[in-house]
Structure 1
Amino acid sequence: MGEFELIARYFTRPVPATAPDAPGTAGRVVLGVGDDCALLAPAPGMQLAVSSDMLVEGRHFFADVAPERLGHKALAVNLSDLAACGARPLAFTLALALPEADEDWLAGFARGLFALADAHGCALVGGDTTQGPRNLCITVLGEVPAGQALLRSGARPGDDVYVSGTLGDAALALAALQGRLPAHWRLPGAVLAAARARLELPTPRVALGLALRGVASSAIDVSDGLLGDLGHILRASGVGACIDCSVTTPLIAAYAELSSVRGQFGSEFDPATDGEFLRRYTLAGGDDYELLFTAAPAQRVAVAAAALSSATPVTRIGRIEAQPGLRLIDAQGQPVAARYASFDHFAPHACTKAEKPE
């Protein structure tokens, strides 16, 4: 199977033909896959939001990951960026390097990719394919009313800090798959399966991002770890923050499960000592693709309404302060001395996100 047959068979679809003023892709894509460029027609008064993400085998995903899950994640991590900007998805391009044209792999990948794309009204409009080590690069385009985009630079002293969904389960799954859990930990199969689903099938919080326009003062998606990504907001806004670790630690969905099944988890499990590992996954694990955002206390009712309308749980985990820096406190309000480093691709001795030990 050649390159152009591959594109035609797995990645060429008809452009939706509907009214130009409809939301999502409808009417915005004038020309899709097949020419040198795609043509899009942004709606009046809207700004384009554009983001790119690359996924590299052995760095971002395991070689044996199910292709359908990989197709989902490749687009999900990009849609998560649009969510953090409060933008509605329009279209995306796909640059795909493959070691070979494996038809079963391509069919599964395309199923996962297009299932998520269709759920968000987001059309594939172009890209590139080549032979080489497996590498996926998606550029996604969205639209947001002019002047209403959520940015990292809007946090103000006194704002509440929120995070959506749960944190840490993806990092727990990754640690288990890489053999980095404490020796006495024995994860129940159901707990590991649920955590692995969070790693491989993240949920982009697009509906919440749209609902937070005009409510949140700043936002970012959590890809490299809660504290590391919060640091981007603090630097862009010129502020500091205080985070309550007693609120964040239970955000790892596995925490309650593991604490309640000590016999399966390991007879030596100690919530105080081993709970520190879970806290590390929650605060610095990464691969969560939840929304981290700030909002003024006067917006608490509006935040709750946004969470309800988008069917997305949110938790208030701290506050923005005028003094620069990040401070962690425990349930008693005392400083937490531990420091947590989020993922950095180019940090010295950085572990890869998805490389299994030999």
Structure 2
Amino acid sequence: MKPKLRIGLIGSGFMGKAHVFGFASAQKVFDLPYEIVLHTIADVSVEAAEAARAAFGFAKATHDWRDLVNDPEIDVIDITAPNALHKEMALAAIAAGKHVYCEKPLAPLAADAREMAEAAEAAGIKTQVGFNYLCNPMLALAREMIAGGELGEIRGYRGLHAEDYMIDASSPFTFRHDPAGGGALADIGSHALATAEFLIGPIVRVMGDCVTMIGSRPDGKGGVRNVEVDDVGRAFLRFENGATGSIEGNWIATGRKMQHDFEVHGTKGALAFSQEHFNVLHYYSTSDARGRQGFRRIEAGPDHYPYGRFCVAPGHQLGFNDLKAIEVAGYLAALAGEGPEPFNFHAGYRIQTIVETIQRSSAKGAWMDVVLA
């Protein structure tokens, strides 16, 4: 009989639902060390919480997230609330001795993320930050090829995360537009940064350019609010291994729904990837005969763990929620002492530090070193 792991989820929106799907799929796909129990869900009102409880299969519902923290039966607090609320919720959970799974970005400020990471480490709490794009078997393959020298010396990297969900200037001001919790670089550029470090290694120096293209938005009450955060955040990068590159986070990229792309250029070969077709990795080798050179298509399949856990046939493809299931499985393995935390609060703090360094670099118009305080 497996021990039960009781989950308390805060938030039932897009990411809350994705987390629920991740827990549900992970139980069917992986041999988990725990039996997952969806214990209690919290949302902004009793009505919203009850609706989510019925839809997702939780045993209880509440409109106060503190009920989850104070419930001795709950083992893991899962936070999918707006960014500015992450710190208070996570610190309360840590103080109550509960493990914490939190969506990215970990906190609006690097100082807050550091405080959260240090509190978790001091209390022996295991944490996870939701960067599930890193769980794609194709990214694992890319990192394996890079580390194994198949591309030779890595010279260049280009990363991009572009969507168009903020393109309409008449759409209202949201928590993502608040300086305390938003901006394209922090919201989606953080994915580009996490992928860059996952593949190439530590970023040590940046030159940023953060731009606000839509300067005000309706406040939903008949007025307008000024927008101070970036709609587009870009940066040139220097990596610890000597490679150079760039990333971009852009939420006003017309026509783009999920362009989380990268290219890696080495002395022996190159890789190209797009999240819009994320079951495919393209590989170029300089060792191919002249007249036969070109990017070849590597299709995801059972040879690329853990694809085979989901499907025995290549080319049938994984989906976004499958990546959440892989993320959940990795975190539960860490909780059981079967491996390290895949992407803990310290890793989330590092990404937020890079984001802020890029923002400061943009304001100063100068290159800046990435330094964890």
TM-score, normalization: structure 1? 0.27
Ranked by relative contact order (alpha carbons within 8 Å, sequence separation 6 or more), the top structure is 1
